[in-house]
Amino acid sequence: MRSFSLIFKQFSRSVLLIACFAFVGTYAYAQGDAVKGEALFKAKCTACHKLDQQVVGPALGKLITDETDDKFLTKWIQNNQALIAAKNPKAVTVFNQFNQANMTVFADLTDGDVANILTYVRTEWKKMSATPAPGTGPAVVVDKGPSKIIILSLLGVIVLAFIVILVLNRVITTLERLLAKNNVTILEEEAVAGESVDRLAFLKKLAKNKKFVFFVLLCGTIFLGVYTFIGLWTTNLHQGYQPVQPIKFPHDLHAGAMKIDCQYCHSGAYKSKNATIPSLNVCMNCHKVISSAFGSKTASVEIHKIYDALGFDPATQKYDTTKAHPVQWIRIHNLPDLAYFNHSQHVKVGKIKCQTCHGPVQEMKEVYQYSPLTMKWCIQCHKRTNVDFKDNAYYANLQQVHDLLKDGKQVTASLMGGIECGKCHY
């Protein structure tokens, strides 16, 4: 039921608009100002419509160009609901055709405004149809990596270099042969043998040097000891843990480039102990419109995973709950059951930035565990962080804390009992 109503709501603004264009009447195109129309279109329509693609509402370019009855269009845009209420046969057919979803009423648009919009849409669509869409033209071929010529010439250079090396080698051997004929070789060989004997003797001498052996062993023991200690100390410590997630969610894009607030998706962090992984309806707030990667025209595989999970068909904009299945994310930050951690205490009350513990998430391609999440790490922060008393009447009655503050002492979380066992372990 819930998903149904959601679909209904999301569709409501858009679908009716398509409806009106489905009727082809006279080619009485309204004359308007395309520049003014562009401004209006961007202000009023782009939330739901694109010219060449179905988003919340249908793709308008072709529809408006094909539709000729501008009077109907104007009425529809200004107040589609009145048309339906008046049982205009055209409007009702469209309304029913598109799941009886409502489009927003734009009573503030004058007939002139609508004419401007229509003109803009039609001229823009004409331009778009004339110029081939990027990504399909010949320019693409150029972009497809290094050309064969370059690769071939590189190969040629390598072959050439090989030949040069071979020739030089030949020259060297010929010269050596000449030298050998002049009996220089014997001397050389003797010198080599003598050197090697000396070296072994040196090593043997070193091995017999007790001080040196002791030193080496000591170094070895210390090294191994430290290595073992670090190994044991960090056992079950998963700093840097970056599992492969079912959806390659780029935080760098969402939180970094797009500057979406953490709270938008992880709303639980401000009111609950769980930060919560957003439910997919939150994703759909944007991804109903954005179905392709930034700048790309083809639908993104990753975004499509959201649609699959919800049983959403982007072509028909319909949800099929029978196909819905949850996304099985893999937890990155695993606190043991014995430790109680509450996000809202830290984020909402303590006003700690998410990045303090989770690191520069806005730069992470995929999220990994930034902090060690050890108790030592918790305690250190509790010892260092001053409690933020400002504007929080909660602390008003805690008289003794006030006294401490009056004495000029820094009141840290630990002073408020923040490092006591029972604050986290119960």
Partner 1 sequence: MDSNKKYWKGLEELNKTPEFVELNKNEFAEPIPIEDILTGGGLTGRTPRRDFLKALGFGVGAVTLAACQPVPVHKSLPYLIKPEEVTPGIPNYYVSTYDGQAILVKTREGRPIKIEGHPNDILAKGGASAQAQASVLDLYDVNRLQGPLKDGSQTGWAQVDDFVVRELLAIQASGKKIAIVSSTVTSPSTLGVIADFVKQFPAAKHINYDAVSYTGIIQANQNSFGKAVLPHYNFDKADIIVSFAADFLGTWISPEEFTRQYVSNRNNKSLESKKMSRHIQFETGMSLTGSNADVRIPIKPSEEGAALIALYNAISGSSLAGKALSNKVAQNAVTIAAKELLAAKGKALVVAGSNDVATQILVNAINSLLGSYGTTIDLDNPSLQYAGNDAEFVEFVNEMKSGAVGAVFFLNANPAYDYYNSKDIADGLKKVRLKVSFATSTDETSSLCNVVAPNHHYLESWGDDNAISGYYTVMQPTINPVYDTRQAEQSLMKWSDNPAKEYYRYVRDNWDKNLLAKGGLSGQSGWETLLQTGFVKETPKAGGSYAFNMSLSAVAQTISDHSTELTAADGKTEMSLYQSPAIRDGKRANNPWLQELPDPVSKVTWDNFAAMAPADMKAKGLQDGDAVKIVANGYTISLPVLSQPGQARGTISVAVGYGRTVVGPVGINVGKNAFPFYSLRNKTFQTSAVATLTSVGENWPLAQTQTHHSIEGRNSIIKEASFTQYLKNPASGTGKEEGHKEYKPDLFWQKHDNPTYDWVMAIDLNACTGCGACVVACSAENNVPVVGKDEVGRRREMHWIRIDRYYSFDDNGTEGGVTREHAIADLNVDQLDHVKVVYQPMLCQHCEHAPCETVCPVLATVHSSEGLNHMAYNRCVGTRYCANNCPYKVRRFNWFNYWNDSRFDNYLNNEHTQLVLNPDVVTRFRGVMEKCSMCIQRIQAGKLKAKIEKRPLKDGEVKMACQQTCSANAIVFGNANDPESEVSKALASERTYYVLEELNVKPGVGYQTKIRNISETEA
Residues that bind partner 1 (CB under 8 A): 2-3, 6, 235-236, 238, 241, 243, 267-268, 271-274, 276-282, 309-310, 324, 326-331, 334, 336-338, 340, 342, 344-345, 348-349, 391-394, 396-401, 404, 415-417, 420-423, 425-426
Q: Which is nearer to partner 1, 106 or 270 (CB)?
A: 270
Residues 49-75: b if buried by 16+ CB within 10 A, e if exposed: bbbeebbbbbbbbbbbbebbbbebbbb
Written as one letter, the residue type at 207 is A
In angstroms, the Cα distances linking 298 to 53, 96, 136, 248, 270 are 11, 31, 11, 17, 36
How is residue 78 written in tokens? 């200004």
Q: Which is nearer to partner 1, 260 or 401 (CB)?
A: 401
Q: Which is nearer to partner 1, 173 or 272 (CB)?
A: 272
Q: Which is nearer to partner 1, 293 or 411 (CB)?
A: 411
Q: Closest distance between partner 1 and the C-beta of residue 50, in Å?
A: 25
> What angle, rounded to 10 degrees, do the helices at 111-130 and 34-44 form?
100
Q: Closest distance between partner 1 and the C-beta of residue 105, in Å?
A: 26
DSSP letter, residue 318: E
What DSSP line would sit under 135-184, residue for residue?
A: TTSTHHHHHSSS-HHHHHHHHHHHHHHHHHHHHHHHHHHHHHHHHHHTT-
| C-alpha distance across the termini of the chain, in Å | 39
Q: Which is nearer to partner 1, 29 or 395 (CB)?
A: 395
Q: Closest distance between partner 1 and the C-beta of residue 275, in Å?
A: 9
Q: Which is nearer to partner 1, 131 or 399 (CB)?
A: 399
Residue with tokens 């049983």: 311
Given a contact cutoff of 8 angstroms between Cβ atoms, the answer to whether 18 and 58 are in contact is yes
Q: Which is nearer to partner 1, 71 or 331 (CB)?
A: 331
Q: Which is nearer to partner 1, 183 or 400 (CB)?
A: 400
Residue with tokens 């109503």: 5
Q: How far apart are CA 357 and CA 372, in angstroms?
A: 9
Q: Closest distance between partner 1 and the C-beta of residue 80, in Å?
A: 27
Q: How far apart are CA 201 and CA 285, in angstroms?
A: 78
What DSSP line would sit under 344-411, residue for residue?
A: HIIIIIS---HHHHH--GGG-SS----S---HHHHHHHHHHPBP--TT-GGGGG-HHHHHHHHTT---
Q: How far apart are CA 277 and CA 283, in angstroms?
A: 11
Q: Closest distance between partner 1 and the C-beta of residue 334, in Å?
A: 6
Q: Which is nearer to partner 1, 56 or 84 (CB)?
A: 56
Q: Closest distance between partner 1 and the C-beta of residue 300, in Å?
A: 20
Smallest Cα–Cα separation from 294: which of 256, 329, 242? Answer: 256
Q: Which is nearer to partner 1, 121 or 387 (CB)?
A: 387
Q: Closest distance between partner 1 and the C-beta of residue 281, in Å?
A: 4
Q: Closest distance between partner 1 and the C-beta of residue 60, in Å?
A: 29
Q: Count other C-beta atoms under 10 Å from residue 21's C-beta.
A: 22
Q: Which is nearer to partner 1, 147 or 410 (CB)?
A: 410
Q: Closest distance between partner 1 and the C-beta of residue 335, in Å?
A: 11
Backbone angles phi, psi at 313, to 5 degrees: -105, 110
In angstroms, the Cα distances linking 221 to 207, 216, 225, 226 are 18, 9, 6, 8
Work out whether strand 318-319 and strand 312-313 pair parallel, antiparallel, or are unpaired. Answer: antiparallel
Q: How far apart are CA 86 and CA 84, in angstroms?
A: 5
Q: Closest distance between partner 1 and the C-beta of residue 399, in Å?
A: 8
Q: Closest distance between partner 1 and the C-beta of residue 6, in Å?
A: 7
